[in-house]
Amino acid sequence: MRAFIPPELPPNPPVELAGLHQHLDRANQALGRLDGLTTLLPDTKVFLYLYIRKEALLSSQIEGTQSSFSDLLLFESDAEPSVPIDDVEEVSNYVAAMQHGLRRIAAGFPLSLRLIREIHAILLRGGRGANRTPGEFRRSQNWVGGTRPGNAAFVPPPPERLMECLDSLERFLHDEKHKLPILIEAGLIHVQFETIHPFLDGNGRLGRLLITLLLCFKGALREPLLYLSLYFKTNRDRYYDLLQRVRTHGAWEEWLAFFLEGTEITARSAAEAAKQILTLFAKDRDRIQTIGRAASSALRVHEYMQKKPLVGIGAVADELKLSIPTVTVALDHLVRLGI
């Protein structure tokens, strides 16, 4: 199979937006409600802590990594996970890469090829990706599927054309003249990045991560609350089929309908999850209030563990400036209450 050089964005002929208006309206409404929810959350960090780690797990699992949420928490607490350390390290790197990108964008740094390389360097540091040139665009030919380019399902641009494709993508990213809706732009950029496949490894994870970073960079989200990995994982065959149909048939409208539907479903699910977490924490606080004099310290421990669900008694005592016996009693109450 010959290497594929993607045409520049925006597509020519232009995307037929008329047939996508309903999808786009529903996706924008769901995204707007999710973004608005951030003003109602008493502490967005609690929800983000859980949600970013869930996304890191799902995105890494798409690439074959075997790790659970508890494995990640154990690793972050310097304890021993139940799966190979490389698997958990990859998930932890995803969390760190996402946080780095968000910090840079919040500080005013543009979403650019330079930032993409920085994020990739963190994504692949240590673990199995350490020997796959983290933070460097590839200098050799890669392929998707098969054992060699000749029998591959897809062959990205050759290395000598790589920077040409990437520079074009970066220009589109910062070109305000096309005036496309942000979600349409995000859908186009995701396909283009996956088609260019600029790294030897980590392209899928980084491509999914870029969706959220782009929405934050463009101001569509105040907090990084939208992650499509579960939708892509659930519809894996359809996802890969549509990526390929864009390349072979220019089927942008099919892909964008799928992408917008995923955005709507995911945004609604995230908003519902946030509401359920708020309700759960409120019920827990009401139950803790019934235990009498120990309620004050138990509430503090409960609030701390929302941000760090797996932690040692000594660490909680140090952080909250409580005695170990006080923390122990508080935890006993939380266990007895089923919290």
Neighbour-count burial of 323, counting CB atoms closer than 10 A to its CB (0-12 exposed, 13-18 middle, 19+ buried): exposed
Cα distances from 231 to residues 17, 24, 212, 264, in angstroms, run 23, 17, 14, 10
Number of H helices, E strands in the chain: 14, 0
Q: Is residue 4 part of a domain?
A: no
Q: Is 281 exposed, middle or buried (0-12, 13-18, 19+ CB in 10 A)?
A: middle
Tell me, yes or no, whether 194 and 231 share the same domain: yes
Of 100, 87, 95, which is closest to residue 126 (Cα–Cα)? Answer: 87
Decide: 47 and 277 in contact? Cβ < 8 Å: yes
Q: Has residue 258 been placed in a domain?
A: yes
Pair of tokens at residue 49? 């802590």
Averaged pLDDT of the chain = 88
Q: Is 99 left (phi over 0), alpha (psi -120 to 50) or beta?
A: alpha
Residue 281 sits in the same domain as residue 271: no
Do 216 and 38 meet the contact criterion of CB atoms below 8 Å apart? no
Task: For residue 306, report the phi and psi dihedrals to the nearest 5 degrees.
Answer: -65, -35
Same domain, residue pair 269 and 285: no
Domain count, the chain: 2
Query: pLDDT tens across 157-186, in order?
Result: 999 999 999 999 999 999 988 889 999 999
Query: Per residue in 93-143, pLDDT tens?
Result: 888 898 899 999 999 999 999 999 999 999 998 766 667 789 999 999 999
Structure tokens at 279: 């309700």
**Same structural domain, 199 and 325:** no
Domain of residue 230, residue span: 17-276
Low-confidence residues of the chain: pLDDT under 70? 1, 42, 46, 51, 55-57, 59-88, 127-130
**One domain for residues 93 and 192:** yes
CA atoms of 34 and 6, how far apart (whole Å):
33
Residues 260 and 288 in one domain: no
C-alpha 124/C-alpha 22 separation (Å) is: 39
Residue 314 CA from chain centroid, whole number: 32
Report how far residue 117's alpha carbon sits from residue 134's, in angstroms, rounded to the nearest whole number: 8
pLDDT reported for residue 72: 66
Residue 80 sits in the same domain as residue 214: yes
pTM across the whole model: 0.86
